[in-house]
Structure 1
Amino acid sequence: MPRMTMIEAIRDAMHVKMADDPNVVVFGEDVGYFGGVFRCTQGLQQKFGRERCFDTPISESGIVGAAIGMAAYGLRPCVEIQFADYVYPGYDQIVSEAARLRYRSNGDFTAPLTIRMPTGGGIFGGQTHSQSPEALFTHVSGLKVVVPSNPFDAKGLLIASIEDDDPVIFLEPKRLYNGPFDGHHDRPVTPWSKHPLGEVPDGHYVVPLGKAEVRRPGSAVTVLAYGTMVYVAEAAAEETGVDAEVIDLRTLLPLDLDTIVASVVKTGRCVVVHEATMTSGFGAELCALVQEHCFYSLERPIARVTGWDTPYPHAQEWDYFPGPKRVGEALLQAMES
């Protein structure tokens, strides 16, 4: 089975769908001739031509608006917002048009489009290249929100997203682009050198939207994480020796509540980890759901380990991220009687 980075797996997913379906089009800033700022679309224009993979002006509202119109009339756009931080000018189009189109038209129109966005920090990109805005999209009825943590899932989830008949926000953690992140390091010390590339099948396959995956079985405490934080949670469990069950949510909306509840009922303890700021972050929704569905099984209060409630701190980037030390402290506290 081929080994790929997440970048290569994402590119392969688009290649598979563009070859399979002439209605799939790819566009965004620098995605054509240049192949994207992270090279996720490299070679697609050369393979499929400028009408199927093309560059756009620097206008996120224009990119999203054009994609919604194309989707409503039968195409399946897979567009790239160069960084998740850039999506805000197009946010109204996503919320007011894409997310509501099926409902507003009584099912006469849908918006089968996928909006890809690099998310999170770890590349010293500063405040406008490092944000994690997933909670802004999980609040919106009509959207689906996906965050892969490895190349296999990235390809399968992206194919499933492109094939979905409703709009999907596809958030790609930048720290995972070039290989699985070594969660033991709080700072970028050879962060990918200890891990092989992910095994990714050739051709078409899907990872179903709305289905979480247990990455590390355990019986003492449940850790809910997604994206880069999956690796940090695994590293924290290894370093502390806590028998933690690490669940990779993969899809935030729709959420696999059954897998979460089954794990928390088993362990009686829960720690939620995400890179975004704490206040009104997606972890708050996870805590509420666990409280509502697992109250009589909980032995300890639910804990959250997150980024700080500050504007993104470029100079303290690697202190801002939840690392294995902070997550490990939460695991040990969860085990206190």
Structure 2
Amino acid sequence: MPIRVPKELPAIKVLEKENIFVMDEDRAMHQDIRPLRILILNLMPKKDETEVQLLRLLSNTPLQINVEFLHMSSHEAKNTSSEHLTRFYYQFKEVQEKFYDGLIITGAPIEQIPFEKVDYWEELQDIFEWSTSHVFSTFHICWGAQAGLYHHHKIDKYFLDQKLTGIYSHEVLTPTWSILKGFDDLFFAPHSRYTGIKRSDVEKTDELEVLVESKEAGLFLVGNKNNRAFYAMGHLEYDRETLQQEFERDQLKGIQPNLPENYFPKDDIKEVPKLRWHMAASLLFSNWINYAVYQNTPYELSTLLDKAKG
């Protein structure tokens, strides 16, 4: 699938080395089709790495997608230059009159902070509310999923006894859902978090259904029965080295982190981790784009507002 992004975005060079078809704005203007419009709210500290990870996953359908990036104006990014944000990212006030086929809300390494204490919580709540009338389907990741469940359904997170980090096996509970079409009964996925969501809390909410769960890691995927929202507790978008980098970062901070489970061969940090989750990642995101978004989103996106009012 051709991903349409700004011509000078640094992620393009990385993706082109992987033979991923990236279409810049100049070429896309000459194609007479209605591309999907996807907005990515990037809350991760190293935004350039997350850009590559998500654009890679959005590249696995034959559809053309226009991708735009959003950052929080109420938060000062410490790991991404202001020049990068100014050049490639929008602020919410610049997009709140627009409509999108899909929205991806990433995770953020702040799950130990109460939601109301997060410096951009008020702005994020505005985005959550805006998305219900201006976005057809939203995919929430890790902390973004916990925050979305808390805002939309009053489901609160709970603290784990220790950080959950590693690669875990997951069981597909509802294979009839289109977002899980083509999945095996079991697949692997990375997790990296200090908090979780209780299945019993989700099951009390009629609009939601638990789709995927792990015996070791707990809930992985929750879906809204109208296909308008999905909540993934893990990080299928992670690269091979991401958990290793997080482990080394925690070591430098003096946190004495647990070794990520099922990650390093023979638990030897000198060994290269095996990549066991990218097939599931590609399938999940392509299913979301195809079945939850493309086959259901209206051609005239502005009609979303009429539906929300009605």
More helix by share: 1
Shared fold (TM-score, shorter chain, > 0.5) = no
TM-score with structure 2 setting the length: 0.31
TM-score with structure 1 setting the length: 0.29
More strand by share: 2
